[in-house]
Amino acid sequence: MKEVVKPARKLAGEIAVPGDKSISHRSVMLAGLADSPVTICNFLASADCLSTVACMQALGVKVDRPGEDELAILGNGLYGLSEPEEVLDAGNSGTTIRLLTGILAGQPFFSVLSGDGSLRRRPMARVITPLSKMGCRIYGREGSRYAPLAIVPADGIHGIDYTMPVASAQVKSALLFAGMFADGPTRITEPYISRDHSERMLQTFGAKVTRSGLIVKIAPVQELSAPRTIDVPGDISSAAFWLVAATIIPGSRLRLTNVGINPTRTGIIDILRRMGADIEITNQRQAGEEPVADLVVSAAELSGTTVEGEIIPRLIDEIPVLAVAALFAKGRTVISGAEELRVKETDRLKAITLELAKMGARIEETVDGLIIDGPQRLEAAVCQSHDDHRMAMALAIAGLAAGGVEIEEAACVAISYPRFFAHIAALQEAAGGSR
């Protein structure tokens, strides 16, 4: 499917961004391992999270959907999953396959996990290696590097002390989830702190998870005690597209309501503010263990900056749209230490350089990042999403702020933000049409 995005006049009004993808996945998995009913509100009913739902159903968890964004989950307890009859399909979702591998590695039954062409090219050794050290038996293609993954029952799994070579919340979460089924404590050291939604939600479910600096520890769990409801905050990774759009389109002012502002996710706010963005954080409150707020963003002049080190995992999914912001900023922006972008849905460093070049942008792709000198003038172009949702949305924001864009393979926005183009249309209409 193609989408045409016309250049926008100023953006104004309010957007309720959809529920957080990371928290939605985790809520279904943990609620499915409890034995009392859980209602999940503001669930992100996107393709990735629905892959998690289908996998949990195939494992014997009962899931009803009483409302568009509401799920009712009834599990059979921590030891109550049943052997799936079919291959579990994680679709396009790295979070689904890696976190479920952690859960399934501790089960007394056989299972196979796979996904689409993109997912079958993404690295899986990063979860298989530490899980194997715990005694789990997991096999994959090409020397256990790629899915499909076959998981064979182990004779009991053990807690380990593991130092992760890459900052990855998916690897950390897989180990924390497997650690629930181990016979002793599991201790994980991260190079930098990655998103901590699993730790927070495990605590909500009564698991003993503690953190000291870069070390997180989980004790074996006998049973999970579920909260009656989980309120999923809005996704800051989806909000990021509007934060950038309203900043770079002159005269704009947008209110983004109910956005999760967990400090392990707010790198995009920190960097945009450092570049000169006008982002106000208001109405701060808690949604369970997660902090939320409304964000009010007004157009502002940006300057280039350096993005590296510990902040990278705090904005990893926002780098494609941050590259768009950098094209509108005065001076040089250097992003480094972001080589993880090469193993996402597509090689995002390569794809963003290639596709924005079609609009006339000159971006230097480095081994682990991007160098962008701004401001630059962008022209209308036909671009490819590479079937990557974050690419499609970043290109749409570039087109909105510049001369428009036609995006091929745009349907992939359904992976994390199904109503993205509907929100663009509503903003255009509210502004009285395009420029």
What DSSP string runs through 22-81?
HHHHHHHHHHHTSSS-EEEES---SHHHHHHHHHHHHTT-EEEEEETTEEEEE---TT--
Rounded to whole angstroms, how far apart are CA atoms 295 and 246? 11
Nearer to ligand S3P, 258 or 262 (CB): 262
3-state secondary structure of 358: helix
In the complex, the smallest distance separating the C-beta of residue 166 from ligand PEP, rounded to whole angstroms, is 13
Which of the ranges 149-157, 164-172, 300-308, 365-373 carries the binding residues for ligand S3P, by CB under 6 A?
164-172
Could you give the string, one character per residue 181-210, with x where binding to ligand S3P holds by CB under 6 A and - elsewhere? --------------x---------------
Stretch that binds ligand S3P, among 53-61, 163-171, 245-253, 329-337 (CB under 6 A): 163-171
- Binding-residue pattern over the window 322 to 361 for ligand PEP, x denoting contact by CB under 6 A: ----------------------xx----------------
Of the candidates 99, 152, 154, the residue with the CA atom closest to the CA atom of residue 126: 99
Q: Which of 89, 199, 290, 317 binds ligand S3P (CB under 6 A)?
A: 317
Residue 299 and residue 251 in contact, taking contact as beta carbons nearer than 8 Å: yes
Q: How far apart are CA 75 and CA 71, in angstroms?
A: 13
Near ligand S3P by CB under 6 A: residue from 58, 316, 370, 397 = 316
Q: Does residue 384 belong to the site contacting ligand PEP (CB under 6 A)?
A: no
**The pair of three-digit structure tokens given for residue 202, joined into one six-digit string:** 């495990």
Q: Which stretch binds ligand S3P (CB under 6 A): 62-70, 166-174, 213-221, 298-306?
A: 166-174
Residue 93 site contact among ligand PEP, ligand S3P, none (CB < 5 to 8 Å, cut-off depends on kind)? ligand PEP
Give the DSSP letter of residue 340: G
Q: How far is it, in rounded angstroms, from Cα 287 to Cα 339?
A: 33
| Residue 346 binds ligand S3P (CB under 6 A) | no
- Which residues, in sequence order, are CB contacts of 50 under 8 Å at separation 6+? none
Q: Is 22 annotated as a binding residue?
A: yes
Q: CB of residue 316 vs ligand S3P: minimum separation in angstroms? A: 5
DSSP class of residue 275 equals: H
Run of H or E including 291:
strand 290-298
Amino acid at 37: P
Buried b (16+ CB within 10 A) or exposed e, 102-126: bbbbbbeeebbbbbbebbbebbbeb
314: DSSP letter: G
The interface partner of residue 390, options being ligand PEP, ligand S3P, none and the CB cut-off 5 to 8 Å by kind, is ligand PEP
- Asked whether position 305 contacts ligand PEP by CB under 6 A, the answer is no
Q: Is 95 in the site for ligand PEP (CB under 6 A)?
A: yes
Q: What residue type is assigned to position 250 of the chain?
A: P
The yes or no reply on residue 39 touching ligand S3P (CB under 6 A) is no
| Nearer Cβ to ligand S3P (170/258) | 170
Q: Which stretch binds ligand PEP (CB under 6 A): 12-20, 32-40, 88-96, 285-293?
A: 88-96
Is residue 22 part of the contact set for ligand S3P (CB under 6 A)? yes
Query: What's the length of the chain?
Result: 435
Residue range at the interface with ligand PEP (CB under 6 A); choices 92-100, 208-216, 267-275, 305-313: 92-100
Any idea of the CA torsion for 254, 257, 261, 265, to the nearest 10 degrees?
A: -60
Residues contacting 221, CB < 8 A, separation 6+? 78, 180, 181, 206, 207, 208
Q: How far apart are the C-alpha atoms of 73 and 36, rounded to whole Å?
A: 8
Q: How far is the CB of 378 from ligand S3P (least distance, A)?
A: 26
β-bridge partners, 38:
73
Q: Which residue is nearest to ligand PEP (CB)?
A: 94
230 binds, among ligand S3P, ligand PEP, none (CB under 5 to 8 A by kind): none
CA 136 to chain centre: 26
One residue of 199, 317, 318, 387 binding ligand PEP per CB under 6 A: 317
Q: Which of ligand PEP, ligand S3P, none does residue 168 bind to, with CB < 5 to 8 Å depending on kind? A: ligand S3P
Q: Is 51 in the site for ligand S3P (CB under 6 A)?
A: no
Residues near ligand S3P, by CB under 6 A:
22, 94-95, 168-170, 173, 195, 316-317, 340
Residues placed in the known binding site for 3-phosphoshikimate: 21-22, 26, 168, 170, 317, 344
Residues near ligand PEP, by CB under 6 A:
48, 93-95, 317, 344-345, 390, 416
